[in-house]
């Protein structure tokens, strides 16, 4: 007996989840499935983040059921991309997807063909997203715009001198407007002990200047 998960969704509180669930329970019984859990959402199908669907996918990754039953494709998602992503993930987890209205079962011959088509479409979509990101980055470079995090602008020499004078990591972070982690990185790059003061060699501050200039 296959373990079945039912998923039902309505957009507003004026609609009734029980209408979908009654049909899904009947379909599960007709197929000889054991209903192990019912997941529901009262939210727009355009929202990709939904408590019920998120929990369904989390339990799918834990192998808590063998198939998912829905009343129709648009109950799972109105956004085509999101629907393909969900179906593709269920397929990779070895979980069948059954839609009552469309009469689609990915466990059957037609369903297998559909999974192949869906997987191909999802792969093309992922590649298209990658290409769009790369094109955007190329355009940003041509326009002279900064890509990624801006370089850290800080007076490193002054920071090292203040560390030598005994300022703590927290004090340095506040004084130079950077995080404590950034202070630690600067001190590490300068090969200065983080736990203690900056101790110059016998040559004195001149060697300190030489060390700082190499940063």
User: What does the pLDDT profile of the chain (215 residues) look like in tens digits?
Assistant: 899 999 999 988 667 899 999 999 999 999 999 999 999 999 886 777 889 999 999 999 999 999 999 998 888 876 777 888 888 889 889 999 998 988 888 877 777 777 667 656 666 776 788 888 888 888 888 877 766 666 667 888 888 998 888 899 888 988 888 888 888 888 888 864 444 444 443 333 344 444 444 44
Check residue 191 and give its pLDDT.
66
pLDDT at res. 65: 97
Is the domain 3-125 a CATH 3.40.50.1390 member? yes
Tell me, what's the pLDDT at 122? 61
| pTM (global) more than 0.85 | no
Q: Where are the domains of the chain?
A: 3-125, 156-213
Residue 182 has a pLDDT of: 86
Can you give the length of the chain in residues?
215
Q: Which residues are catalytic?
A: 11
**Do 137 and 185 contact (CB within 8 A), yes or no?**
no
CB-CB contact of 24 with 100 (8 Å): yes
């Amino acid at each position: 007996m296959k373990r079945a998960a039912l998923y039902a969704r309505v957009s507003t509180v004026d609609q009734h989840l029980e209408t979908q669930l009654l049909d899904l329970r009947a379909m599960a019984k007709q197929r000889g499935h054991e209903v192990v859990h019912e997941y529901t959402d009262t939210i727009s199908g355009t929202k990709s983040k939904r408590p019920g669907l998120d929990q369904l996918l989390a339990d799918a990754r834990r192998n808590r059921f063998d198939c998912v039953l829905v009343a129709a494709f648009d109950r799972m998602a109105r956004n085509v991309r999101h629907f393909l992503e969900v179906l593709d993930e269920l397929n990779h987890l070895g979980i069948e997807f059954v839609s009552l209205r469309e009469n689609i079962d990915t466990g059957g011959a037609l369903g297998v063909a559909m999974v192949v088509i869906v997987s191909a479409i999802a792969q093309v979509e992922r590649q298209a997203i990658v290409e769009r990101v790369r094109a955007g980055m190329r355009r940003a470079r041509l326009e002279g715009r900064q890509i990624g995090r801006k370089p850290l602008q800080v007076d490193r020499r002054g920071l090292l001198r203040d560390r030598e004078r005994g300022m703590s990591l927290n004090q340095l972070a506040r004084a130079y407007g950077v995080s404590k982690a950034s202070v630690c990185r600067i001190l590490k790059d300068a090969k200065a002990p983080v736990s203690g003061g900056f101790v110059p060699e016998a040559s004195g501050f001149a060697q300190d200047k030489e060390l700082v200039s190499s940063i």
